[in-house]
Structure 1
């Protein structure tokens, strides 16, 4: 198993929310979003559970050798979905950072200067390309939620939706040298999938995809063929597995090789054959995030991968608590 992969970043940004709740502004087109009965309906209980899930997930990732930069969100700006930072920014080899236009008004407030300043301080950042001004024209492209990026073959797989505007996609792909591959999707009720990354994940040697959600048999075959042509073993996920977030995974580089971060719920719904296929290339690393999944996203949405070169003076981020304390101090400065 190779230890280094362009596709699998060795570091991530995570946001630890203190006022997490399923976002009412995103419920209309996010069929994965849920509420829960009983005590989970209590706001403070939900928020505390989500906060604890991020803390535990960050520690599990760090134990696997992934550098984790945790930022606290105390909720002063009404950002219930802040736990999903991969939607508002992405990073790219060569020192490039992109900021994205967000569909929901309260999600636009998730963009944080301290995150970008940390990237500039600890990694080599050449430029920051800001697409957020497209929001004024109702043009949206929600980062690596809307796009599943193949950093090796330079392909941006994108399910068409109100959160993935073709104008913004074309602009991003031109600036960052990706080939856009777009397709229509529909769930059992005929609704389009709101984010590509809940139905598709591209790792170094395999891809997990809900092919049955792609409209048109020819287009399904084309997508599967393109994945195979780029060297991926295609792992087809059924509707039940997609509903349990098996498509919402992220391959990362750890201290002993690549790992596939996914939720416990996603892990449990994989078949033995699927697990064996994955483990030929990456160790499965399940994380318990049932409360966060109420908001309609899972582990991949929680992780903003850092595809940037580290500065030689960057400190070791293995001690998560020290990173968190410094980040919290910056955010309140």
Structure 2
């Protein structure tokens, strides 16, 4: 099922067991911020991107620290960056996986469309891991993968926010490509570019959500409460701006976000994560965040 009807979505999802697959990835991949700079095309619809002050050396140092920190939890593969693709440090929008499959997304801006042409990343998944490839990059409907589509892998369900970075047909293509059981499609609030800045689903049992990032927040809050019960952490506007919603669980007992996002969490939000059994882990990412994304955007998952 793919639907814009929250009631129909919830009626189906309530019948689903969390047996679609593992809740968290078995490995991750990163792309180094070589040539880190402001991507003017992407800045047209990314309100989180800084106007100036891009520090390439600081971004590289932060990215190395992220690599080292994540390596303590699971295998990490890192690809080189390219000055011609300054947004490539956010690879989850372009490449994503489901068990045995790699999916290549259709990016909105030409500067990001170039990332999808990388033979080394495609070859790693197809030739090294032996994954089948679903290539959405050449069709006309924008679908920026796990930027636009937030997935509960255990249940096999998705939440897809529409914006200039994903249209309705793109949502349907991703629903099929990921093999999801159900996807709820909804509108992001004006000015929001990616769902994963305002919503995170954590280890199949908790959620972080920013209501002011959603066009119709009440309906989403009701759905999340029905699925994740007391483990829905509602973020304030300030927490969202600090990138607290751009978080990810890579093990069953932890949640990762940037150091700035963690510092900006309210006591209530911290308690909510702790009550869900998720230990908070963070690394500094202030230089990287100038590019309009944070920790979750840097992490591509390998299922």
SS of residue paired to 2:150: strand
The equivalent residue for 1:116 is 122
The equivalent residue for 1:263 is 258
Q: Is structure 2 residue 47 aligned with structure 1 residue 15?
A: no
Map 1:198-277 onto structure 2 (within 5 A).
198-204=197-203, 205-216=205-216, 220-231=217-228, 233-253=231-251, 258-277=253-272
The equivalent residue for 2:280 is 284
Q: TM-score, normalised by structure 1?
A: 0.79
Partners of 1:18 and 1:74 within 8 A in 2: yes
Q: Is structure 2 residue 53 aligned with structure 1 residue 51?
A: no
SS of residue paired to 1:73: coil
Aligned residues: 278
Distance 2:106 2:186 in 1: 20
The equivalent residue for 1:103 is 108
Q: Is structure 2 residue 97 aligned with structure 1 residue 91?
A: yes
Q: TM-score, normalised by structure 2?
A: 0.86
Post-superposition shift, 1:121? Answer: 5.4
Partners of 2:196 and 2:246 within 8 A in 1: yes
Post-superposition shift, 1:124? Answer: 5.3
Q: Highest CA radius of gyration, 1 or 2?
A: 1
Partners of 2:31 and 2:89 within 8 A in 1: yes
Map 1:129-148 onto structure 2 (within 5 A).
129-134=134-139, 137=140, 139-148=141-150
Which segment drifts farther, 151-160 or 223-232?
223-232
Which segment drifts farther, 234-243 or 105-114?
105-114
The superposition leaves residues 61-98 of structure 1 with CA deviations (integer Å, 9 ceiling, x where unpaired) of: 112x22111111142xx1010100000011012x1211
The superposition leaves residues 14-40 of structure 1 with CA deviations (integer Å, 9 ceiling, x where unpaired) of: 11122011210011111111134xxx4
Q: Is structure 2 residue 181 aligned with structure 1 residue 182?
A: no
The equivalent residue for 1:324 is none
The equivalent residue for 2:155 is 153
Post-superposition shift, 1:301? Answer: 0.3
SS of residue paired to 2:133: strand
The superposition leaves residues 174-216 of structure 1 with CA deviations (integer Å, 9 ceiling, x where unpaired) of: 3433222122232xxxx33100001110012210001233223
Partners of 2:33 and 2:89 within 8 A in 1: yes
Partners of 1:8 and 1:258 within 8 A in 2: no
Partners of 2:106 and 2:137 within 8 A in 1: yes
Distance 1:174 1:119 in 2: 19
SS of residue paired to 2:200: strand
Distance 1:211 1:8 in 2: 25
Q: Which runs of 5+ in 2 are unaligned?
A: 1-20
The equivalent residue for 2:85 is 79
Distance 1:122 1:227 in 2: 38
Q: Is structure 2 residue 69 aligned with structure 1 residue 60?
A: yes
From the superposition, tell whether residues 276 and 10 of structure 1 become closer, same or farther in structure 2 (CA, over 3 Å). farther
Partners of 1:159 and 1:193 within 8 A in 2: no
Distance 1:208 1:124 in 2: 34
Structure 1 runs (4+) greater than 4 angstroms displaced:
none
Distance 2:138 2:126 in 1: 22
